[in-house]
Amino acid sequence: MSNCSGIVISSLDVTFRSENERLEVLKNFSITIQKGEYTVILGPSGCGKSTFLRILAGTLQRVIPTCEVKGNIEIKLCQGDKEYKIGLAPQSYSLVPWRTVLENVLFPKILTTNKITDQDRERATSILEMLGIGCFGKTYPSELSGGIAQRASLARALFTESDLLLLDEPLNAVDLYERERIQSLLRNYTQKKGITTIHVTHDIYEAAFVASRIILMTGRPGKVHSDICLSPINRDLLFRESKTYHALIAQLRATFNSWTDNYIKPEDWGGQ
Amino acid sequence: MKKLRLSHPRGIGAWIPAIITFVVFLIAWEGLIRVAKIPPYLLPSANALFTRMWRDIDQLLRNLALTTASTMAGFFIGSVVGWSSSMIFSLNRTFERAFYPYFIALKSIPIVVIAPMIALWLGTDLAGRIIVVALSTFFPILVNSLKGFANIENGLLELAVAYRATPRQIFFRLRLPGSLPYLFAGMKVSAVLAVVAALVAEMMGADSGLGFILTVSIYRTDTEALFCVTVLSAALALAIFGLVVLLERKGFPWIQGVLLNKSMEV
């Protein structure tokens, strides 16, 4: 692998251990992600999507100290020895309650340097405006609705000029109209800046729209089921009407349906 | 854009029910004494109480000022020492393991047992009383703040680790501000305990303060004076509690929102 070509993960096993139980979350998980790719990780609940994000963020062992991680993880996203920067939008939003929305967007910088310039403030404000929540800059998180809090959390992830953007179901609480607008914005913004993005979701419509590549994961223990690469067409309203988009959704839905074929059907209840 | 308001009603309107309750209470009090013909040495009338209070106002205020001084000073010292100790404990687990069990043991000793010891060692002047108040306010603040330092939201910690914050940055920019709601919760509990401790300290042979008046009025069966002390000490406790609430709301307006969200989750 050349100096800054991307992420290589090979034969990754992650096991959560409790006193008398072992839970295999990821098993023999291998993936190579090119720098600048917009990868969507799609899969059923509990298949290890968030665990994979935590591995990339380097937070897994801190959050779940009893987990076992085996395998090879190589992340090269910067020239030379420079450490890659992360932008993270966690599933739980995790806004800092004593900071306003604007300060929350600035928080990665407040946390690590505590030196905020007027330029930083301007940039944070423009990101909030871009996400349609510019008027909430002075509001405290406890006063926000779920959808707005989630967009604030996404704004914070975008504020860090990151090499690796990690999004854990970043739009699931956002209303449909805004969700579609932000999906297109996310795809075009990250493509323009060349940011490697890993976007976790279980929404097949979102996956089909934003991704340059979709990794479909199986249920627990999570493995790569299929790897779908998509053409780099502009993501706009026209794409949402296109045959490519609808065919992709049909393909994803068919795969999901095939997994649930063996489930007990309503007509089988009661041993009939 | 209209903001979502999640706060309690404030201003004069919020006080109306409490004022009505107070007026009804006064009327019931007077009525009970007149109807049941209760003798004044058992229960003085509200009227007699206020007359007495007015007559002795100079003496009462002088002693109230002394009690207030020892309560406030002790409360302040107890809060600062309690919060600082919790900070040291959360920075260094060995310290916590070494001292915390003994602090818990000390906490279980009632203040009426501690007060005479302090009186014996330090006397019953202001310094001794301040120490008694500080000791009784110290524990709730220590215990609460310690919980606050530990109870950082997992997601926030994860975020800080992902952004490669140092343990020092995590402590000062996440744990420390995050402990404030717990500090204030502890201070609200301690505000009332502080007045009790000041009265107890003054009852251990002091020659001034509301606790001193209390002791004298018990010996003389001076029920009116006893009630005067009751009213003033309750007012003092309320005032200190109010001061803590005011400081919390004006200084850290976000705490209300956090508490409301927490109670809604339950």
- Tokens, residue B5: 């308001």
Q: Do A57 and B154 touch (CB under 8 A)?
A: no
Share of chain A above pLDDT 90, in %: 26
**Amino acid at residue number A77:** L
Backbone dihedral angles phi then psi of residue A129, each to the nearest 5 degrees: -65, -40
Q: Is the pLDDT of residue B3 over 60?
A: no
DSSP per-residue codes, chain B: -PPPP-SPP-SHHHHHHHHHHHHHHHHHHHHHHHHHT--TTTS--HHHHHHHHHHTHHHHHHHHHHHHHHHHHHHHHHHHHHHHHHHHHHH-HHHHHHHHHHHHHHHTS-HHHHHHHHHHHH-SSHHHHHHHHHHHHHHHHHHHHHHHHH---HHHHHHHHHTT--HHHHIIIIIHHHTHHHHHHHHHHHHHHHHHHHHHHHTTT-SSSHHHHHHHHHHTT-HHHHHHHHHHHHHHHHHHHHHHHHHHHHH-THHHHHHHHHHHH-
Strands A67-76 and A6-18: antiparallel
> What is the per-residue pLDDT for A234?
73
Task: Tell me the average pLDDT across A86-93.
Answer: 89
H or E element, residue A51:
helix A49-57
Task: Tell me the average pLDDT across A116-131.
Answer: 92
Output the CA torsion B24→B26→B32→B34 (10° steps): -120
What is the phi-psi region of residue B41: left when phi exceeds 0, alpha when psi lies from -120 to 50, beta otherwise?
alpha
**Radius of gyration of chain B, Cα coordinates, nearest whole angstrom:** 22
Of residues A90, A114, A142, nearest to B258 (C-beta):
A142
Q: Is A232 on the interface with B (CB under 8 A)?
A: no
**Cα A197 from Cα A120, distance rounded (Å):** 22
Strands A86-89 and A213-217: unpaired
**Nearest by Cα to A102 from A171, A162, A157, A152:** A152
> What is the per-residue pLDDT for A3?
57
**Cα A202 from Cα A194, distance rounded (Å):** 24
> What is the per-residue pLDDT for A6?
84
Q: Using one digit for the tens of pLDDT, what is the confidence trace for B144-197?
A: 898 888 888 888 988 999 998 998 899 999 999 989 999 999 999 999 999 999
Q: Taking CB atoms and an 8 Å cutoff, what residues of chain B touch A140? A: 253-254, 257
Residue of A nearest to B172 (CA): A111
ipTM field: 0.84
Write down the CATH number for the domain with range A1-8+29-54+74-85+166-272: 3.40.50.300
Neighbours of A234 (CB within 10 A): 10
> What is the per-residue pLDDT for A13?
85
Q: Taking CB atoms and an 8 Å cutoff, what residues of chain B touch A52? A: none
Q: Do A59 and B161 touch (CB under 8 A)?
A: yes
**Cα B105 from Cα B89, distance rounded (Å):** 17
Share of chain B above pLDDT 90, in %: 50
Q: Is the pLDDT of residue A271 over 60?
A: no
> What is the per-residue pLDDT for B76?
96
Q: Do B254 and A112 touch (CB under 8 A)?
A: no
H or E element, residue A259:
helix A243-259
Q: CA of A112, closest CA in chain B: separation in Å?
A: 6
> What is the per-residue pLDDT for A153?
94
H or E element, residue A241:
helix A237-241
Q: Using one digit for the tens of pLDDT, what is the confidence trace for A185-223?
A: 998 889 888 899 999 998 889 998 888 899 988 877 878
> What is the per-residue pLDDT for B99?
85
Task: Kindly report the length of chain B.
Answer: 266
What residues are paired with A39 via a beta bridge?
Answer: A198, A213
CB B190 within 8 A of CB B134: no
Instruction: Return residue ranges of chain A for CATH 3.40.50.300.
Output: 1-8+29-54+74-85+166-272
Between A64 and A103, whose confidence is greater? Answer: A103
DSSP per-residue codes, A137-193: TT--GGGS-HHHHHHHHHHHHHHS--SEEEEESTTTTS-HHHHHHHHHHHHHHHHHH
- Tokens, residue A267: 């007509």
CB B81 within 8 A of CB B134: yes
Q: Is B84 on the interface with A (CB under 8 A)?
A: no
Q: Using one digit for the tens of pLDDT, what is the confidence trace for A236-256?
A: 778 888 888 898 899 888 888
> What is the per-residue pLDDT for A1?
45
Which residues touch A18 (CB under 8 Å, ≥6 apart)?
Answer: A66
Of residues A57, A110, A141, nearest to B173 (C-beta):
A110
SS3 sequence of B16-42? HHHHHHHHHHHHHHHHHHHHHCCCCCC
Q: CA of B4, closest CA in chain A: separation in Å?
A: 6
Output the CA torsion B56→B61→B67→B72 (10° steps): 160
**Cα B224 from Cα B63, distance rounded (Å):** 16
Q: Is the pLDDT of residue B265 over 70?
A: no
- Biggest alpha carbon–alpha carbon distance for chain A: 70
Q: Is B168 on the interface with A (CB under 8 A)?
A: no
> What is the per-residue pLDDT for A70?
86
Query: Taking a contact as any Cβ pair under 8 Å apart, which residues of chain B between 135 and 154 contact chain A?
Result: 153-154
Task: Tell me the average pLDDT across A107-132.
Answer: 91
Q: CA of A64, closest CA in chain B: separation in Å?
A: 10
**Cα A97 from Cα B131, distance rounded (Å):** 36
Q: Is the pLDDT of residue B242 over 90?
A: yes
What residues are paired with A38 via a beta bridge?
Answer: A197
Between A45 and B137, whose confidence is greater? Answer: B137
**Cα B252 from Cα A98, distance rounded (Å):** 8
3-state secondary structure of A80: coil
Q: Using one digit for the tens of pLDDT, what is the confidence trace for B66-83?
A: 999 999 999 999 999 999
Q: Using one digit for the tens of pLDDT, what is the confidence trace for B18-35?
A: 899 999 999 999 899 989
Q: Is A65 on the interface with B (CB under 8 A)?
A: no
Least confident range from A223-227, B157-161, B220-224: namely A223-227
Strands A213-217 and A224-229: antiparallel
Of residues A86, A94, A142, nearest to B257 (C-beta):
A142
Averaged pLDDT score across all residues of chain A:
86
> What is the per-residue pLDDT for A4?
59
**Nearest by Cα to A163 from A7, A40, A9:** A7
Least confident range from A120-134, B101-115, B193-207: namely B101-115
**Amino acid at residue number B186:** G
Q: Is the pLDDT of residue A268 over 90?
A: no
> What is the per-residue pLDDT for B5?
54
**Nearest by Cα to B67 from B192, B208, B252:** B208
